[in-house]
């Protein structure tokens, strides 16, 4: 803030506090006060419309006596009250700031560094709004990204464009077969361990019987026992789901009534 800003700020404080008003009434004392404030608050901007900073708000907040702070009853506002309000705001700005790529020649490290530091200082002093690349990846964006990425590398879900998967199908028959099975609504055999060859979940079944798995090849199809395991698990899931659905849709009924209903052979 420069002299003009400080004079306006003190005039505003004078409207709230008669002690400030009295100080400003005397020309010599007024000039001294403005010089002191200007020196103390040279690095604090008057307003930053983009980020919601306004030095006069800091002054008003001091007189609002928030959080049971009764200082305003005992002394008028001082530069350090504005500094105390600015510091967290500046910290917040720097937190949001992501260094933009300098326009300087990268082969000139000194110029490069100077530009980086200059941009940071400009943000810290409120001459520039923070460059916010991080805002693009906010919490909602991160969640969306995480859900998109959850299928990458494993699991039955395809995570590449359909046409790419189609082109690659010849080179990854296991994966293609798995996707086809899941798309057809069949149980996903690869979600389970193979009890025949010992292949771990998501791993293809192995051929041959050599010790320690050395030199054993991959099968394009899962062993039948693995498919059976998946089918059994799917059946159990379905049974459990149906049981739950029945439970949820059965209205609470008096004991005799329910007994009559269930004894009618409606069981499956």
**Three-state DSSP state, 211:** helix
Of 125 and 223, which has the nearer Cβ to Zn ion? 223
Q: Which stretch binds Zn ion (CB under 5 A): 51-59, 121-129, 184-192, 199-207?
A: 199-207
How many chain residues interact with Zn ion (CB under 5 A)?
6
Is 193 a residue that touches Zn ion (CB under 5 A)? no
Of 116 and 176, which has the nearer Cβ to Zn ion? 176
Is 230 a residue that touches Zn ion (CB under 5 A)? no
Burial 152-164 (b: 16+ CB within 10 A, else e): eeebbebeeeeee
Spatial separation of the C-alpha atoms in residues 232 and 113, rounded to whole Å: 64
Is 12 a residue that touches Zn ion (CB under 5 A)? no
Spatial separation of the C-alpha atoms in residues 34 and 27, rounded to whole Å: 10
Of 78 and 203, which has the nearer Cβ to Zn ion? 203
Q: What is the 3-state secondary structure (H, E, C) of 107-125?
A: CCHHHHHHHHHHHHHHHHC
Spatial separation of the C-alpha atoms in residues 84 and 88, rounded to whole Å: 7
Spatial separation of the C-alpha atoms in residues 92 and 135, rounded to whole Å: 13
Q: Which stretch binds Zn ion (CB under 5 A): 48-56, 71-79, 86-94, 190-198?
A: 190-198
Q: State in angstroms the smallest separation of the CB of 233 from Zn ion.
A: 16
Is 196 a residue that touches Zn ion (CB under 5 A)? yes
Q: Which stretch binds Zn ion (CB under 5 A): 89-97, 168-176, 196-204, 243-251?
A: 196-204
Of 207 and 250, which has the nearer Cβ to Zn ion? 207
In this chain, which of 7, 197, 204, 229 binds Zn ion, going by CB under 5 A?
A: 197
Among candidates 165, 1, 153, which has minimal Cα distance to 86?
Answer: 1
Spatial separation of the C-alpha atoms in residues 41 and 1, rounded to whole Å: 6
Interacting positions 34-73 with Zn ion (CB under 5 A): none
In this chain, which of 41, 181, 189, 205 binds Zn ion, going by CB under 5 A?
A: 205
Is 82 a residue that touches Zn ion (CB under 5 A)? no
Q: State in angstroms the smallest separation of the CB of 186 from Zn ion.
A: 17
Structure token digits, residue 205? 């079944």
Spatial separation of the C-alpha atoms in residues 63 and 18, rounded to whole Å: 12
Check: CB of residue 226 under 8 Å from CB of residue 196.
Answer: yes
Interacting positions 133-172 with Zn ion (CB under 5 A): none
Is 216 a residue that touches Zn ion (CB under 5 A)? no
Of 33 and 229, which has the nearer Cβ to Zn ion? 229
Tokens 């159990």 appear where?
A: 236
Check: CB of residue 10 under 8 Å from CB of residue 46.
Answer: no
Is 189 a residue that touches Zn ion (CB under 5 A)? no
Is 223 a residue that touches Zn ion (CB under 5 A)? yes
Per CB under 5 A, residues contacting Zn ion are 194, 196-197, 199, 205, 223
């Amino acid at each position: 803030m420069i002299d003009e800003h400080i004079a306006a700020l003190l005039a505003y404080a004078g409207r709230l506090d008669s002690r400030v008003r009295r100080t400003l009434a005397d020309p010599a004392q007024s000039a001294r006060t403005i010089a002191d404030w200007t020196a103390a608050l040279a690095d604090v901007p008057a307003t930053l419309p983009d980020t919601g900073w306004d030095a006069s708000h800091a002054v008003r907040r001091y007189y609002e006596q928030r959080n049971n702070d009764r200082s305003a009853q005992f002394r008028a506002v001082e530069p350090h009250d504005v500094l105390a309000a600015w510091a967290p705001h500046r910290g917040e700005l720097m937190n949001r700031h992501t260094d933009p790529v300098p326009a300087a020649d990268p082969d000139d490290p000194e110029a490069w560094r100077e530009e980086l530091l200059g941009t940071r200082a400009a943000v810290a002093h409120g001459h520039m709004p923070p460059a916010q690349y991080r805002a693009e990846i906010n919490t909602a964006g991160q969640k969306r990204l995480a859900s998109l990425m959850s299928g990458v590398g494993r699991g039955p879900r395809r995570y590449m464009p359909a046409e790419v998967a189609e082109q690659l199908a010849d080179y990854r028959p296991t994966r293609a077969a798995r996707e086809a099975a899941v798309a057809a609504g069949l149980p996903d055999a690869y979600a389970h361990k193979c009890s025949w060859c010992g292949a771990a979940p998501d791993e293809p079944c192995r051929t041959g019987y050599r010790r320690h798995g050395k030199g054993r090849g991959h099968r394009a199809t899962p062993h039948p026992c693995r498919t059976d395991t998946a089918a059994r698990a799917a059946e159990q899931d379905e049974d459990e789901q149906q049981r739950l659905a029945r439970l949820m849709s059965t209205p609470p009924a008096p004991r005799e009534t329910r007994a009559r209903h269930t004894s009618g052979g409606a069981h499956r």
